[in-house]
Amino acid sequence: MAVKYNIHPDFKLLAAIHPPLNRKSIQRIQKMMGLLYYQQKSDRTVEVQRIRIRTGEDSFVKALLYTPKNRKVQGNLLYCHGGGYAFPAAPYQYKLARLYAERAGCRVLFPDYRLAPGHPFPAAPEDCFAAYRWLLRFAKDNPTAVCGDSAGGTLAMAVCLMAIDNEIRVPCAQLLTYPSVGNCGETESIRLYTDTPMCNSRDMDIYGEWYVQDETAGKLAYRSPVEADSYEGIPMTYIETAQFDCLRDGALIYADRLKECGIPVELYKTKGTVHGYDMMLKSRIVKALIEKRVAFLKKAFLKTDR
Check which CATH number belongs to the domain holding 14 and give it. 3.40.50.1820
| Confidence check: pLDDT of 1 > 60 | no
* Catalytic choice (203, 275, 278, 283): 275
pLDDT at 70 over 90: no
Q: Confirm whether 150 is a catalytic residue.
A: yes
Average pLDDT rounded to a whole number, residues 49-74 = 93
Is residue 128, in this structure, part of any structural domain at all?
yes
What is residue 306's predicted lDDT score, i.e. its pLDDT? 43
For range 200-210, the mean pLDDT: 96
Packing angle of the helix pair 91-104, 284-303 (nearest 10 deg): 50
The answer to whether residue 59 is catalytic is no
Average of per-residue pLDDT across 34-58: 95
pTM over 0.85, yes/no: yes
Residue 2 lies in a domain: no
- In degrees, rounded to 5, the angle at the alpha carbon of residue 35 between the alpha carbons of residues 34 and 37 is 80
The residues, ordered by sequence, that sit 6+ positions from 19 with a Cβ below 8 Å of its Cβ are: 84, 87, 198, 199, 203
Percent residues over pLDDT 90 in the chain? 92
Angle formed at CA 32 by CA 31 and CA 34, multiple of 5 degrees? 65
* Residue 1 included in any domain: no
Name, in order, each residue with C-beta under 8 angstroms of 263's C-beta and a sequence gap of 6 or more: 231, 234, 235, 236, 237
- Is 80 exceeded by the pLDDT of residue 99? yes
Exactly one of 245, 249, 278, 283 is catalytic; name it. 245
Name 90's Cβ contacts closer than 8 Å, sequence gap at least 6.
33, 36, 81, 83, 279
pLDDT at 20 over 90: no
**Position 281 confidence tier, pLDDT thresholds 50, 70, 90:** very high
Give tens-digit pLDDT for 151-176.
Answer: 999 999 999 999 999 999 999 999 99
The helix-helix angle for 151-165 and 123-139 (nearest 10°) equals: 60
Give the pLDDT of residue 57.
82
In angstroms, rounded to a whole number, what is the distance separating the alpha carbons of residues 173 and 300?
A: 6
Q: Are 115 and 88 in contact (CB under 8 A)?
A: yes
Predicted local confidence at residue 304, as pLDDT: 61
Residues 6+ apart with CB under 8 A from 174: 145, 146, 147, 156, 157, 160, 234, 235, 236, 237, 238
What is 279-296 written as a DSSP string? G-TT-HHHHHHHHHHHHH
Give CA angle at 179 (173, 181), nearest 5°: 90
- Per-residue pLDDT band at 303 (split at 50, 70, 90): confident
Nearest 5°: the CA angle 264, 241, 245 is 150
Query: What is the predicted pLDDT for the residue at 2?
Result: 47
From CA 131, how far away is CA 79, in angstroms rounded? Answer: 10
Measured distance CA(100)–CA(92) in Å, rounded:
12
pLDDT in tens, 220-260: 999 999 999 999 999 999 999 999 999 999 999 999 999 99
Percent of the chain with pLDDT over 70: 98
Tell whether 298 is covered by a domain.
yes
Q: Residue 222 sits in which domain range?
A: 9-303
Query: Is the pLDDT at 293 greater than 90, yes or no?
Result: yes
Among 23-27, 98-102, 137-141, 276-280, the minimum mean pLDDT is found in: 137-141
Question: Does residue 174 lie within any of the structural domains?
Answer: yes
**For residue range 126-142, what is the model confidence (pLDDT) as tens digits?**
999 999 999 999 987 89
Cα 88 to chain centroid distance, Å, stands at 12
In a domain, 222, yes or no: yes
Residue 225 within a domain: yes
Query: What is the number of structural domains in the chain?
Result: 1
Q: Which of 259, 213, 220, 219 is nearest to 239 (CA)?
A: 259
Q: Is 275 a catalytic residue?
A: yes
Given 150, 189, 224, 283, the catalytic residue: 150
**Domain assignment of residue 288, yes or no:** yes
